[in-house]
C-alpha cells in the first residue's frame, strides 16, 4: 500500500491523547503512538499430534490476502523444536549488535544458554528493514529461581517482561517450550517465506495477517503475541483496552506496545496459568454473556457460574469486536466476542481441525474439509491433541 493511501486514511488515533497523521506515525514505533483493525486469522491442529508442515498454514493466508495491508504477518507453530523440547525457546529482535550483547549478559544472569543461533531467514524483496533475529534455548538457573521464590513459568514470564520493558533495543517475541512465534512487517505469505516455515513441522499452527489501525506497524507489534507457550492471533479492535490494561498491569504484566492483542495474551496467561481457570471459564470471563442471557439460562448452575465469573473479573471483560485463536501446549482455543462482530469459521477433516476468518482459507488448506460451521459469539471452540487428556 502506498504512503499516499496511508495519508488519506489518517487523521486518527488514540483516545484523545495524540493526534498525528499516519504519515508521521509510520516513522514511529509501536508503543509510541496509537492510531484507531481488519485482519485475517487461521489455525490448524492435528488431534493425533501428527506433523503438519509450516507451508500448509502459509497457504491458508493466500485467499485472505486483502484482509491485511502488508504491515504485519506472523505464525506460531507448536511441536516445532522436538530436539530442545525441555528448554524455553526464546525468540528475540535486536536493534543492533550492542543491544544483543547487553541482552545476552542479562539472559546469562537468569538462564543457562543451551543453544543460541540466528533464526534462519531468506532474503526476499518484500521483507525489508529486518532487525537482528536470534533464538535461544534456555534453562532457568535454579539458584535465581530459589532466591526470587518463583515457580519456573513465573520466573520466565518475569524475565520476558524485564527484557521488553527495561532493555533498549531488545524484544522477546516468543518464550515457550517446543513452540515458536515468527513475525514481521509484511504480508503473511511473505513472512512465512522469509522465515523458511516450510522447514518446520508442528502439530498445530496459527497465523495472522495484519491491517493495523491503532499502531504504526512494527515487527514486534505483528501477531501472534506470545508469553510462555500461550500465543494469540487476533482480528478486531477491543474497546476495553485501557480498562483491561489497568487491571492486568497490577499483576506484573507490562503492556509495552499499546496494541490490544498484547493485553489479551496477558489476560489469558493470568486467568489460565496464574488463576487456574479452565479455558471455558476464561472464555466466559473475557466474552461473558450478557446479564439478560445469564438470567435467562435454564441451567441454574451454569447461570451461577457465569454470574460468578462476571462478578469476580469485571475488569477482564473484553468489549468490542474480536475473533482470536489462542495457541497453547497441546491445543488451541478459538473465540469470538459475544456480539460476534468478526467472522470465524471452523471445519474438520479426519483428525484435523481448521479455523479461519473465511471459509476460503480453510478450503485452501483442505478442499475436502467437512462440517464448516460458525461458532456463536462467546462460544469457545477448544481442540486438544489426544494424548494431552490422558
Partner 1 sequence: MTIDAADLDYRCINEEIRKVDGKCIITSCLGQRFIASGMSNIDIEIEGIPGNALGSYLNGGTITVHGNAQDAVGDTMNDGKIVVHGNIGDAAGYAMRGGRIYIKGDAGYRAGIHMKEYQEKVPLMIIGGSAGSFLGEYQSGGVIIVLNLNSRRQKSVGFFPCTGMHGGKVFLRSRCEDVVFPPQVIRRSATDEDRNELRSYLEEYCDLFSLDLEEILFSEFTVVTPDSKNPYRRMYVAN
The catalytic residues are 39
Measured from the CB atom, the residue of 20 and 64 that comes closer to partner 1 is 64
- Our CB check for partner 1 shows the closer of 150 and 339 to be 339
Q: How near is the Cβ of 344 to partner 1 at its closest, in Å?
A: 10
Terminal CA-CA length for the chain: 49
- Contacts of residue 7, defined as CB under 8 A and 6 or more positions apart, other chains included, come to 21, 22, 23
Is 363 one of the binding residues for partner 1 (CB under 8 A)?
A: yes
Contact pattern for partner 1 over residues 172 through 201, marking x by CB under 8 A: ------------------------------
| Binders of partner 1 in range 49-78 (CB under 8 A) | 63-64, 66
Using the rule CB under 8 A, give the single segment among 178-186, 234-242, 324-332, 371-379 that binds partner 1. Answer: 371-379
Question: Cβ contacts of residue 108 below 8 Å, gap of 6+?
Answer: none
- CB-nearer residue toward partner 1: 281 or 337: 337
Footprint of partner 1 on 333-362 (CB under 8 A): 339-340, 343, 345, 358-361
Q: Which is nearer to partner 1, 124 or 374 (CB)?
A: 374
Q: Is 364 in the site for partner 1 (CB under 8 A)?
A: yes
Considering only 293, 314, 350, 387, the residue that binds partner 1 (CB under 8 A) is 293
Please give the helix or strand (H or E) that residue 143 lies within, else none.
helix 142-148
* Least distance from partner 1 to the Cβ atom of residue 111, Å: 44
Nearer to partner 1, 364 or 381 (CB): 364
C-alpha cell at 185: 512487517
How many Å apart are CA 214 and CA 225, to the nearest integer? 16
Q: Does residue 321 interact with partner 1 by CB under 8 A?
A: no
* Contacts of 313-316 spanning 24+ positions with Cβ under 8 A: 313/271, 313/285, 315/243, 315/244, 315/246, 315/247, 316/244, 316/247, 316/248, 316/267, 316/270, 316/271, 316/285, 316/286
Separation CA 289–CA 270 (nearest Å): 20
Pick from 19, 251, 308, 373 the residue near partner 1 by CB under 8 A. Answer: 373
Among candidate residues 50, 106, 71, 373, the one with its CA nearest the CA of residue 209: 71
Cβ neighbours of residue 278 closer than 8 Å, sequence gap 6 or more: 272
Regarding 291 and contact with partner 1 (CB under 8 A), the answer is: yes
| Interatomic CA distance for residues 101 and 35, integer angstroms | 33
Contact residues toward partner 1 (CB under 8 A) are: 63-64, 66, 290-293, 296, 339-340, 343, 345, 358-361, 363-364, 372-374, 376-377
Amino acid at each position: 500500500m502506498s504512503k499516499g493511501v496511508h495519508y488519506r486514511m489518517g487523521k486518527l488515533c488514540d483516545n484523545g491523547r495524540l493526534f498525528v497523521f499516519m504519515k508521521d506515525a509510520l516513522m514511529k514505533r509501536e508503543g509510541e503512538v496509537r492510531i484507531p483493525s481488519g485482519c485475517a486469522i487461521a489455525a490448524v491442529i492435528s488431534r493425533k499430534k501428527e506433523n503438519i508442515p509450516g507451508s500448509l498454514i502459509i497457504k491458508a493466508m493466500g485467499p485472505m490476502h486483502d484482509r491485511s495491508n502488508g504491515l504485519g504477518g506472523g505464525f506460531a507453530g507448536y511441536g516445532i523444536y522436538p530436539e530442545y523440547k525441555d528448554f524455553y525457546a526464546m525468540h528475540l529482535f535486536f536493534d543492533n549488535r550492542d543491544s544483543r550483547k547487553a541482552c545476552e549478559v542479562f539472559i546469562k544472569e537468569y538462564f543457562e544458554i543451551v543453544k543460541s543461533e540466528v533464526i534462519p531467514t531468506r532474503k526476499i524483496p518484500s521483507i525489508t528493514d529486518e532487525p537482528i533475529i536470534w533464538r535461544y534455548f534456555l534453562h532457568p538457573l535454579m539458584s535465581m529461581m530459589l532466591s526470587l521464590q518463583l515457580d519456573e513459568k513465573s520466573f520466565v514470564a518475569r524475565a520476558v517482561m524485564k527484557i521488553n520493558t527495561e532493555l533498549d533495543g531488545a524484544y522477546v517475541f516468543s518464550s515457550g517450550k517446543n513452540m515458536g512465534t515468527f513475525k514481521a512487517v509484511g504480508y503473511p505469505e511473505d513472512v512465512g517465506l522469509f522465515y523458511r516455515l516450510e522447514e518446520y513441522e508442528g502439530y498445530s499452527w496459527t497465523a495472522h495477517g495484519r491491517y493495523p489501525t491503532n499502531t504504526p506497524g512494527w515487527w514486534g507489534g505483528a501477531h501472534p503475541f506470545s508469553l510462555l507457550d500461550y500465543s494469540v492471533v487476533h482480528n478486531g479492535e477491543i474497546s476495553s483496552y485501557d480498562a483491561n490494561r489497568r487491571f492486568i498491569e497490577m499483576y506484573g504484566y507490562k503492556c509495552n506496545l499499546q496494541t490490544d492483542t498484547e493485553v489479551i495474551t496477558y489476560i489469558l496467561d493470568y486467568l489460565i496459568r496464574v488463576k487456574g481457570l479452565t479455558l471455558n471459564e476464561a472464555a466466559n470471563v473475557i466474552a461473558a454473556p450478557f446479564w439478560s442471557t445469564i438470567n435467562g439460562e435454564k441451567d441454574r448452575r451454569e447461570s451461577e457460574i457465569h454470574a460468578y465469573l462476571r462478578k469476580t473479573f469485571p475488569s477482564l471483560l473484553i468489549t468490542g469486536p474480536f475473533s482470536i485463536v489462542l495457541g497453547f501446549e497441546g491445543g488451541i482455543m478459538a473465540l469470538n466476542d459475544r456480539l460476534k462482530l468478526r467472522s470465524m469459521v471452523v471445519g474438520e477433516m479426519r483428525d484435523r481441525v481448521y479455523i479461519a476468518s473465511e471459509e476460503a482459507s480453510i478450503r485452501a488448506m483442505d478442499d475436502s474439509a467437512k462440517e464448516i460451521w460458525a461458532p456463536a459469539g462467546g462460544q469457545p471452540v477448544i481442540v486438544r491433541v489426544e494424548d494431552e487428556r490422558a
